[in-house]
Structure 1
Amino acid sequence: MAAFQAGSDSRNGHPPTLSALILSDVCFLYESLARALSEAQIIVLDRCSSVAEAVAIVSESAPDLLLIDAAFNSGLAAVGQILSAATKTRIVVVAVSETESNVLSWIRAGVSGYIPNTARLVDLPAMLQGIARGEQACSAFIAGSLLRELRDHGPQGETSHSPNLTDRERQVLRLIGSGRANKEIARELNISLATAKSHVHNLLGKLNLRHRGQVTAWLHSAERA
């Protein structure tokens, strides 16, 4: 599989090596992204031209990042399918027109970050490293839009100890927020996988969230409340 690869040492202060998968049916876009990332010691596993292929590779290889071309047909719908197969993979949409409606649509779908269409290739590796750490650089206008979204549809001033979460659900909440998959939650809490899935399902229902990708934003908002 390894179309563009380069090794890296995460010691001596260097950022940890990341692996990435690219979902795009545009060959020159893939080649440009792959070359920029490989030069920055980010391993590009492969290019996918279909959602089914992306789901299969994510399930098998669990890359750190999945980059989706914003112009990819049915890309928004693809996010949910890929999230169901992903463990720790963060989904990043690339070349987004940085308007409020576009950015919020992708975030509601469940992406962990986005790269605007005004970004330069030379800046891409640092932006992806930031997203992998749970950070997202965005314009002041988009930041304001995201805050309004959290205010209007988020926890509405509730803390992470509400609404009426059990002790176990609080544990699950923190583990999801730290990027743990259901199998890892089950192992850390010494419970069955089915029980872990049940806790996650109940937790999302209580927080009025549609998918686990929204938990990190919920926690950040709750901590500020």
Structure 2
Amino acid sequence: MERGTHSNNHPVVCLLSTHPLLLEEFTRKLSRAHFTAKPFRLRQVFFEDVNRLAIPAASVYVVDGHDPFAATLVGALVNRFPNSRVIVLTEKITDSNAFPLLELGAKGLLDYSEASQHLPEAVKTVMEGGYWVERRLLSRFMDSIVHGSRRRLAKARPHRLSPRERQVLECLLENLSNKEIAKRLNISERTAKFHVSNLLAKFDVRRRVDLVMLQLHGQKS
């Protein structure tokens, strides 16, 4: 449990918006549901200032998606508070605005009308590890992730890899570090790192774990 995420045994929920009336309404609603609600009034900030905002620690962050830089704020919250959950409120939920937020790590999406009735339930659901997202929308999002994985696999088929890259890929699938790869293949650690970077670029992923998951998915499909 992160320090500051509970107050008097009540989970802390931080609400972030530029609109004082919205903050007041949902603070009152969450307090009645026995959450410790902490409203945080946002100003008109440039995205590079987001990481310097004095946002309090909380179990759940509720972001007003109508505000400028809401998506940037969601990404910053997920990075700064990895054990917390993020919910986004917006006027209308569509695939085009929902998918990027889900990719950033949002666990709940509610329009304002639904939030007025069900925000405490949504907070409880995401705290327990679930999603509060309309089922069909979540299904379409998962389909888009699978199709994206297939496109990346097609883009970097094994025949496009050099023999050395295939060897390094096999090492990655065994969860070897750069140092261990270098030792096994009798190359320098710097060269091993170079090949790993090339593989990540060819498969259009950022992390080793994403590459491994992509390969495992490809082997099953």
**TM-score range with shorter-chain normalisation?**
0.5 to 0.7
Q: Tell me, yes or no, if the aligned pair for 1:95 and 1:118 is still in contact at 8 Å.
A: no
Residue in 1 aligned with 2:175? Answer: 166
Greater helix share, structure number: 2
Which residue identity does 2:64 align to in structure 1? D
Which residue identity does 1:127 align to in structure 2? A
Runs ≥4 residues deviating over 3 A? 6-9, 50-58
Report how far residue 102 of structure 1 moved: 1.4
Which secondary structure state, in structure 2, belongs to the residue aligned with residue 142 of structure 1? helix
Q: Tell me, yes or no, if the aligned pair for 1:18 and 1:43 is still in contact at 8 Å.
A: yes
Distance change (3 Å), C-alpha of 1:155 and 1:43: farther
Of 34, 37, 42, which aligns to 1:49? Answer: 42
Which secondary structure state, in structure 2, belongs to the residue aligned with residue 208 of structure 1? helix
Residue in 1 aligned with 2:160? Answer: none
Of 89, 92, 95, which aligns to 2:87? Answer: 92
Structure 1, unmatched stretches of 5+, are: 1-5, 10-16, 157-161, 169-201, 210-214
Distance change (3 Å), C-alpha of 1:165 and 1:146: farther
Report how far residue 31 of structure 1 moved: 0.6
Tell me, in whole angstroms, the C-alpha distance in 1 between the residues paired with 2:24 and 2:174.
47
Which residue identity does 1:166 align to in structure 2? N
Distance change (3 Å), C-alpha of 1:149 and 1:46: same
Matches of residues 90-129 of structure 1 in structure 2 within 5 Å? 90-129=85-124
Residue in 1 aligned with 2:139? Answer: 144
Q: Tell me, yes or no, if the aligned pair for 1:104 and 1:146 is still in contact at 8 Å.
A: yes
Residue in 2 aligned with 1:175? Answer: none
Structure 2, unmatched stretches of 5+, are: 1-5, 152-170, 178-199
Higher mean C-alpha deviation, range 136-145 or range 69-78: 136-145
Q: TM-score, normalised by structure 1?
A: 0.59
Q: Tell me, yes or no, if the aligned pair for 2:23 and 2:39 is still in contact at 8 Å.
A: no
Matches of residues 164-203 of structure 1 in structure 2 within 5 Å? 164=173, 166=175
The alignment-based identity, stated in percent, is: 15
Q: Tell me, yes or no, if the aligned pair for 2:108 and 2:122 is still in contact at 8 Å.
A: no
Q: TM-score, normalised by structure 2?
A: 0.60
User: Aligned Cα RMSD in Å?
Assistant: 3.7
Q: Tell me, yes or no, if the aligned pair for 2:107 and 2:132 is still in contact at 8 Å.
A: no
Larger relative contact order, structure 1 or 2 (CA cutoff 8 Å, min sep 6): 1
Report how far residue 75 of structure 1 moved: 0.9
